């Protein structure tokens, strides 16, 4: 066809040319294709919620409708409507003891634009960013911002949470440490001691730097912080070390706490000067949350009884799924199968291990790689989960993320039974 240029003739930026796609999305396409063909697949890949299983709060839905009918469909202020920022400030104080005024809060379209704005505000090309692996998307944000990635491989002995000792060799080359707790993909959290040691390391490094160079900042993604279970306690840098206030940027929102990923209401909070610069970037890319959802969230966060009731039921249902699958896997382990898991702590994720490399299938083929194991689990066991290498870990890792956001209760026993059957076919 005339006028159509070939791919070799179309040149784009080096950044766009070298940006890689999501490993999770690739796996999701394969899973969806199998489901369309009639295969019984238990899809534990998606870090999202099935609205039929986990609907948003009724009150929040009602408030969105009210906001629409009231005509709140125009542009919101670049940093979020004042009512929402005030409600967020009060919510943070009530539930976490955070003392951040509304001018220190930036509302964005979910957490992703806020994270992007932090990178673009703090990072000059070539600046180092320390982040643990596995972790969600930091490698891609480094690529987008021109940062030098400084990944730190974590271990199951620490529940895949990074330690100060693991990060210390890199801090002199870093401008930012990107942390997440509760962690995506692991569903695990920092202990008080571990986070205190990281904070002390940052404060010591910033004292050494003085006014001569850019400080070492911490991005602290706590999008899942209200979804903790049992004796798990959520810790954050500024509450443990108030001196961290000048260096810590928080990420938060209703996406996970209210099963409201599609409503796109998130926020960042931190030093007002940095937040103000982030606001300028967010305004230029149109990264604000939709106004009806902002109006509704502002109202919902003030309804303490409605929020508490919703959270109690929501957390109970997530816990039933996480604990049920964990117990099922531990039973398989006790029966001698090469599986393992870390007891659930928070969020909607379970960290699981399938140590199947070297095993032979019934047709005589050998599971040589993590990709082979992942494919066998999907096609023979009907279990779709995401390998940790999709989150930056080594391709040799035998660990996976399992998400229960679309899991129905009856699927727990079914999926464990089908898994057991598939594992029993290996030799």
DSSP track, 297-322: HHHHTT-HHHHHHHHHHHHHHHHHHH
> How does pLDDT run across 273-283, given as a tens digit for each residue?
999 999 999 99
Pairing of strands 266-269, 339-341: unpaired
Task: Return the pLDDT at 236.
Answer: 98
d(CA 54, CA 2): 51
Give the domain ranges of the chain.
7-54+308-423, 75-304
Pairing of strands 174-180, 217-221: parallel
For residue 322, give every residue at least 6 positions away whose Cβ sits within 8 Å of its Cβ, in sequence order, or none.
187, 229, 344, 348, 349, 350, 404
Q: Each residue's pLDDT tens digit in the chain (427 positions)?
A: 455 665 666 788 888 888 877 777 777 778 888 888 888 889 999 889 999 999 999 999 999 999 999 999 999 999 999 999 999 999 999 999 999 999 999 999 999 999 999 999 999 999 999 999 999 989 999 999 999 999 999 999 999 999 999 999 999 999 999 999 999 999 999 999 999 999 999 999 999 999 889 999 999 999 999 999 999 999 999 999 999 999 999 999 999 999 999 999 999 999 999 999 999 999 999 999 999 999 999 999 999 999 999 999 999 999 999 999 999 999 999 999 999 999 999 999 999 999 999 989 988 899 999 999 999 999 999 999 999 999 999 999 999 999 999 999 999 999 999 999 999 999 8
Closest C-alpha among 120, 121, 144, 141 to residue 130:
141
Task: Return the pLDDT at 66.
Answer: 97
Report whether CATH 3.30.1360.30 matches the domain 7-54+308-423.
no
Task: Return the pLDDT at 27.
Answer: 77
Would you mind telling me the total number of residues written for the chain in this entry? 427
Report whether CATH 2.40.160.40 matches the domain 75-304.
no
Task: Return the pLDDT at 6.
Answer: 59
Q: Helices 272-284 and 111-122, interaxial angle, to 10°?
A: 110
Task: Return the pLDDT at 3.
Answer: 58
CB 108 within 8 A of CB 288: yes
């Amino acid at each position: 066809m005339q006028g159509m240029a070939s791919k070799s003739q179309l040149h784009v930026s080096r950044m766009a040319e070298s940006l890689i796609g999501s490993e999770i999305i690739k796996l999701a396409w394969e899973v969806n294709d199998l489901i369309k063909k009639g295969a019984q697949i238990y899809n534990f890949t998606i870090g999202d919620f099935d609205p039929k299983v986990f609907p948003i709060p009724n009150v929040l839905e009602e408030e969105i409708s009210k906001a629409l009918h009231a005509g709140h469909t125009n542009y919101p202020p670049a940093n979020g409507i004042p009512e929402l920022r005030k409600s967020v400030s009060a919510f943070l104080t009530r539930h976490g003891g955070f003392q951040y005024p509304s001018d220190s809060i930036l509302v964005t379209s979910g957490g992703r634009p806020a994270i992007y704005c932090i990178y673009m505000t703090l990072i000059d090309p070539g600046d180092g960013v320390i982040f643990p692996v596995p972790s969600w998307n930091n490698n891609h944000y480094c690529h987008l911002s021109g940062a030098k990635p400084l990944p730190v491989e974590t271990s199951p002995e620490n529940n895949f949470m990074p330690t100060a000792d693991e990060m210390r060799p890199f801090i002199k080359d870093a401008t930012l440490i990107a942390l997440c707790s509760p962690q995506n993909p692991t569903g695990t959290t920092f202990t008080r001691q571990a986070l205190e040691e990281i904070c002390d390391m940052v404060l010591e490094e910033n004292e050494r730097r003085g006014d001569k160079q850019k400080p070492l900042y911490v991005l602290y993604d706590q999008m899942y912080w209200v979804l903790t279970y049992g004796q798990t306690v959520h810790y954050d840098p500024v509450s443990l070390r108030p001196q961290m206030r000048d260096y810590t940027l928080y990420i938060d929102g209703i996406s996970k706490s209210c099963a409201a990923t599609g409503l796109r209401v998130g926020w960042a909070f931190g030093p007002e000067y940095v937040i103000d610069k982030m606001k300028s970037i967010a305004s230029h890319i149109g990264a604000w949350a939709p106004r009806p959802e902002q109006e509704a969230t502002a109202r919902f966060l003030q309804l303490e009884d409605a929020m508490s009731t919703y959270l109690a039921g929501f957390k109970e249902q997530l816990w039933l799924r996480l604990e049920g699958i964990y117990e099922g896997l531990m039973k398989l382990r006790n029966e001698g199968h090469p599986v393992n898991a870390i007891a659930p702590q928070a969020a909607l994720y379970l960290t699981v291990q399938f140590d199947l490399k070297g095993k032979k299938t019934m047709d005589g083929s050998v599971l040589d790689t993590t990709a082979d194991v992942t494919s066998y689990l999907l096609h023979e066991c009907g279990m779709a989960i995401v390998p940790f290498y999709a989150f930056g870990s080594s391709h040799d890792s035998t660990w996976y993320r399992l998400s229960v956001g679309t899991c129905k209760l009856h699927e727990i026993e079914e999926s464990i039974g089908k898994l057991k059957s598939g594992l029993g076919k290996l030799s």
